[in-house]
Amino acid sequence: MNDRVSGNGSAGLRGNGGESSLPLLIDPFDRRVSYLRVSVTDRCDFRCVYCMSESMTFLPKAEVLTLEELDRLCSAFVRRGVRKLRLTGGEPLVRRNIVWLIERLGRHLGDGTLEELTLTTNGSQLARFADDLYAAGVRRINVSIDTLDPEKFAEITRWGRLEQVLDGLAAADAAGLRIKINAVALRGVNDDELVDIVEWCGDRGYDLTFIEVMPLGEIGGDARLDQYLPLSMVRASLRRRFTLDESDYSTGGPARYTVCRETGGRVGFITPMTHNFCESCNRVRLTCTGTLYMCLGQEDAADLRAPLRESDDDALLMGAIDEAIGRKPKGHDFVIDRRRRGPAVSRHMSVTGG
Ligand code: SAM
Ligand code: SF4
């Protein structure tokens, strides 16, 4: 029996989540799409130097999906076998009434169709929302912190205050949320702190993932060239201090994990630039305007907002999703070098969501 949607978008037969006629999403390279990352807003209360330019133009409200539309879209993916939803942005927790959406999506956890509902956040609003997140079914969150130095933090985020984020982390801890810290490795900025960050996370029981700077969106000048620090170098410098044992732990995302023998904590590495992780890619990304990107590193995208708004019935939407998954490319080809000046992909990370 055919249990998949094939590369040309034809539907298979195997049921999913009790809806026997709805096929799973399988791309042309036989990868099952089970992970949807959703950017719920392009706005943010920070302006991180590698992510945004200082003066950003944000989307007009009419173009942005309502929370009800986001719920309908995400729920359609869940009905097609998506098991993990990650809300991101921009900063997801600055979207008005976001808790309503998180609670709505939480119903899929209750009925077992969704395995995990999670967020990537800058942590600035966690003190307000940590309890609500837990109550809605969120159990793990990723919080982005690139430095533990308040001044550097203000420089990197332009508008952020480290203390506010640390208060947010304390609230998340108290609420029972498991925390993973994301740190972008930045040459000349936090490369002298990497050991401290590993120890700080180990002491608090936080998992940690280092990320390479990716060439997404124009941020001005040669900033990324200057910032780019290959994680192979990060690993090498951490190995001078720690023993990092390879681990087969996976959160369903692209990070490769090690366990730090000295701290007992997990230390992961996301290496889109130096290591191609595309062959096991199980995810697609939805923007807050309903545009589906089948690959973070490619421009090709599918508009799901038009079919969503055209009819209250999901048939058109499901057709558009099938068509899009049938076009998921094999991989990306990011390059940061001096011959290629602009970003590999013109949209910012805050549009597609990290
Ligand atoms: N505002 C939230 C946050 O900062 O966690 C969620 C959105 S942010 C775009 C998601 C992640 O992408 C963050 O960990 C951020 O550090 C990372 N990021 C942003 N721009 C990046 C870039 N050009 N290269 C690599 N990582 C980037
Ligand atoms: Fe905002 Fe996150 Fe981008 Fe920083 S990385 S500007 S917090 S969206």
Prediction pTM value: 0.89
The amino acid at residue 9 is G
Residues 6, 284, 38, 208, Cα dihedral to 10°: 140
Smallest CA separation from ligand 2 atom 3, residue: 51
Ligand nearest to the Cα of 49, by number: 2
* 140-144/178-184 β-pairing: parallel
Q: Which atom in ligand 2 lies closest to the alpha carbon of residue 89?
A: 8
Smallest CA separation from ligand 1 atom 11, residue: 354
SS3 28: coil
How many H helices and E strands in the chain?
Answer: 11, 12
Residues 6+ apart with CB under 8 A from 141: 118, 119, 120, 121, 126, 133, 172, 177, 178, 179, 180
pLDDT value for 119: 98
Topology given in CATH for the domain delimited by 29-352: TIM Barrel (3.20.20)
Q: Which atom in ligand 2 lies closest to the alpha carbon of residue 348?
A: 3
Please provide residue 199's backbone torsions phi and psi, each rounded to the nearest 5 degrees.
-70, -40
pLDDT value for 15: 47
The amino acid at residue 19 is E
pLDDT value for 296: 79
Contact 321, 76 (CB under 8 A): yes
pLDDT value for 216: 61
- Strand blocks (E) in 69-115: 84-88
Which residues line ligand 1 at a C-beta cut-off of 6 Å?
A: 44, 50-51, 88-89, 91, 120-122, 144, 182, 184, 211, 213-214, 216, 349-350, 353-354
């590495």: which residue's tokens?
A: 269
How many angstroms is it from 38 CA to the middle of ligand 1?
13
Question: What is the DSSP secondary structure assignment for residue 68, as one 8-state letter?
Answer: H
Question: What would the two tokens of residue 143 be?
Answer: 């919080």
**What are the domain boundaries of the chain?**
29-352
Instruction: Look at residues 7, 77, 79, 63 and name the one whose alpha carbon lies nearest to residue 306.
Output: 63
Q: Which atom in ligand 1 lies closest to the alpha carbon of residue 91?
A: 1
How many angstroms is it from 349 CA to the middle of ligand 1?
6
Residue pLDDT tens, the chain, 354 long: 333 433 333 333 344 545 556 899 999 999 999 999 999 999 999 999 888 988 889 999 999 999 999 999 999 999 999 999 999 999 999 999 999 999 999 999 999 999 999 999 999 999 999 999 999 999 999 999 999 999 999 999 999 999 999 999 999 999 999 999 999 999 999 999 999 999 999 999 999 999 988 766 666 655 555 788 889 999 999 999 999 999 998 877 778 899 999 999 999 998 766 556 788 889 999 999 999 999 877 889 999 999 999 999 999 999 999 999 999 998 876 554 444 445 555 666 666 655
Q: How many CB atoms lie within 10 A of CB 243?
A: 11
* 266-270/256-260 β-pairing: antiparallel
Out of 52, 187, 211, mutate this one to test ligand 1's pocket (max ligand atoms within 8 Å of CB): namely 211
- Measure the CA–CA gap between 26 and 33, rounded to whole angstroms: 6
How many angstroms is it from 140 CA to the middle of ligand 2?
19
pLDDT value for 278: 80
